[in-house]
Amino acid sequence: MPPAYSTNMRLKFPILALVLEIITIILYALLVVYDDGTSSGHHDGGHGKDNHTDHNANAVSLYPMFQDVHVMIFIGFGFLMTFLKRYGFSSVGINLLLAAFGLQWGLLLQNIWHLDNGKIRVSVEKMINADFSTATVLISFGAVLGKTSPVQLLIMTLLEITIFCINEHVAVGMLGASDVGASMTIHAFGAYFGLAVARVLYRPGLRNGHDNDGSVYHSDLFAMIGTVFLWMFWPSFNSAIATPGTPQLTAIINTYFSLAACALAAYATSSLVEHKGKLDMVHIQNATLAGGVAVGTCADMNIGPFGAMIIGVTAGVISTLGFKYLTPILASSLGIQDTCGVHNLHGMPGILGGLAGILAALLGRKEGVSPGYQAAALASSLGFALVGGAITGLIMKLPFWSQPPDQNCFDDSIYWEVPEEDEEAGESLAHGDHSKNKAEA
């Protein structure tokens, strides 16, 4: 018999959410100020100078990049996970919740190592990096999608961003690794952190699947919206914090071509492995994005457009094959129930990106980059992810976080007010009918 849990969040969720926000506000009151350019000696990772006039001219120069990354976080990731037929509210809604808290927490912890006269000076670049920190949580969210409560996920956000910031400081700050598009520190880290959590939260009752763990025509179409937004804006994600000028342009170009080549490879591989050569929407929604993940580490390196294309094709092939063959093996043999297949979109392509960065360093494609430190950064990201994910999973497994029972997994109605549907009669209510029913009630 599986354990019986109370899924009522009426006190747990509001108290946790408000306590976390109050603590965050207090910390911001003590530590966070505007970056007005008057500081002596502060810097934003190479973007801009300490000269006040230059600061005024460049203060919002990164805002278009910030907008692109913001769209990826809140629309791209959110809608990519709407493929489940009865879990769309949670996919988009909980994505918004976790990102809204995560960006506040991430901005604090990422910059706690770099206080300027005891303060964190907020700039657009720091806001971009805060969005990046939330991406790790949203990747991990995909691994446990449908099997966790909002309370558990807030706990995961708090712990994962904390561990992510420690690893980022080790990999980039201490080791000096180059990871401009964060193949290692965001994608590989987020994927393997989520897989470790999923393994600890393994549900034997879902071993043979679940009726709601699947898609319908319109839910796959909604997920494709997320894919297209991510695909369009990924060059901004990989180039946003690159050094302005040629390195930033290089990152944009490499990502552009890697994504394009990856898309062709993913379509071709999907047709090759599917019955009668048909395309599988799961492959197209996800594997077409793997090129953006894999080229991230060496995005600003002089690998040539053809090199970016090679990385993209390789990522598209291994991601599609992962969805087709590896995901079932992970579930049946290792007890890792990866709902969204983050191992195939972020995990393996993230490792591929790390390996490509090591090779590019060996070939001298970027000055001052050591292949040994690149390898150490990849190992650090995987180590922190697996150990941190396992510990976080054990904390999330405690029986008072309002987790759903097996029979209610992948169903919005356990945590959301859902409009009634007359499924048996095959009727669908128009928007006006929903309003009329609520008025009558």
Read off the pLDDT of residues 220-230 as tens digits, 9 standing for 90 and up: 999 999 999 99
40 vs 308, residue with greater confidence: 308
Q: Is 100 helix (H, G, I), strand (E, B) or coil?
A: helix
Q: 10 Å Cβ neighbour count for 85?
A: 18
CA–CA dist 435, 441 (Å, integer): 10
Give the residues across from 32 on adjacent strands: 120
CA–CA dist 357, 236 (Å, integer): 19
Quick check: 291 and 315 in contact, CB under 8 A?
A: yes
Query: Can you give the pLDDT at residue 438?
Result: 41
pTM of the model: 0.91
DSSP string, 121-164: EE-HHHHHHHHHHHHHHHHHHHHTTTSS-HHHHHHHHHHHHHHH
pLDDT range class, residue 57, cuts 50, 70, 90: low
Read off the pLDDT of residues 302-350 as tens digits, 9 standing for 90 and up: 999 999 999 999 999 999 999 999 999 999 899 999 999 999 999 999 9
Mean pLDDT rounded to a whole number for the chain: 90
pLDDT range class, residue 213, cuts 50, 70, 90: confident
Which two three-digit tokens encode residue 171?
Answer: 């990999």
CA–CA dist 113, 104 (Å, integer): 16
Distances (CA, A) of 374 to 171, 297, 351, 358, 362: 8, 9, 11, 6, 10
